[in-house]
Amino acid sequence: VMHLVNTYVHIIRELSTDSFSPVLEKAIGVGSAFEGWSPLKEDTVYRVLIPMKPPTGHAFHLEQSAANGTEARTCRIRMVLLRTIQERSLLCTLCTDSYLDVQKTTCWFQELVEDAWLVLSLTTMYRMELLPSSRSYRVQVRRHNKPMLTIEMILVVQLDNSDIFVSSESTEASSNSNTMWPETYAVAEVKFFRHITRKAPRDSCHLKCLQLCAHILDGSGFSVYTFKTVVMHLLTTIPLSNWHSKHFLDRLQDIMSYLRCCLEEKRLNHFFFGNENVPEEILLPSSFQNAVPPNLFHHLAQDPDSLPEALRDFYELQNR
């Protein structure tokens, strides 16, 4: 997957060498497939982030919006023209009111992917079908009789030289504006699970716990990200030696107990904000250290009447 996507990136860079376009960098694999716990291998979507840098003569200035207690915060990417005399710039092609436009940038990227696909189709044995979407790009790939792969490519811009990026993905917080880019913590999450893999016992059960939790969620009101956040908190509070596979049932019980407590308190803290337990190797913006963590259960705090239904969903999951 990474070889194929980076081949795309290389071809796109060659195709856009002489244009005032964002410069694409090496892709970063994120999500459950790259963290090692994909719930269903035959239905896996390989999510890949493609960082962008401004072209020569431009600069990106990220302006963060005020946190509103939701899961995703947003930024606007202001385009600054460093050269006063320039025939053509991103301000004319990919911006709206001097801010990088998600839709325009995604369309630019989609056109280049299609051009790159024409090049690749002549030089590889892959059969590919392009599945464009409004804020990302999906490619279905098959080679000979091997299973089909679905790859989703998402454009991102790095925040303050950290492991936090803003992305072209659509969220509730960004859906009303084409100049709003939601923050994504996916790179930090991949680094977190790689850190845990290095530190945990060889036969650790933390990934099996996540797989099982993701498998039983169908039809419930809980998201995979909720369980992922719970497991991340527990991995930094329960000694890693206690995650050996012989403790599998105990750790599942811990996950459910932690989730129940969060439901009763109507609060589940985002892992990367104001959390002293985040491993030092994960690079976070300085503002994260003392920030009030966004509440992933803000909907329960805003609407107390929704708690009984959430608890019913919880007990059904516990029975499963």
- Specify the range with the lowest mean pLDDT, choosing from 55-59, 99-103, 184-188, 189-193: 55-59
What does the mean pLDDT of the chain come to?
88
The confidence score (pLDDT) of residue 155 equals 96
Mean pLDDT of 291-317: 92
Question: Is the pLDDT confidence value at 9 over 80?
Answer: yes
Q: State pLDDT tens for residues 246-290.
A: 999 999 999 999 999 999 999 999 999 999 999 999 999 998 988
The confidence score (pLDDT) of residue 53 equals 94
The confidence score (pLDDT) of residue 134 equals 75
Cα 9 to the center of its chain, rounded Å? 19
Give which of 164, 150, 123, 145 is closest to 272, Cα–Cα. 164
Give which of 172, 21, 186, 47 is closest to 105, Cα–Cα. 21
The amino acid present at 17, given as its one-letter code, is T
Domains of the chain, each with CATH number or no CATH: 1-185 (3.30.460.90), 200-319 (1.10.1410.40)
Task: Identify the bridge partners of residue 269 per DSSP, sorted by sequence position.
Answer: 295
Question: Is the pLDDT confidence value at 174 over 60?
Answer: no
**107 close to 83: Cβ distance less than 8 angstroms:** no
Q: How large is the greatest C-alpha to C-alpha distance in the chain, in angstroms?
A: 67
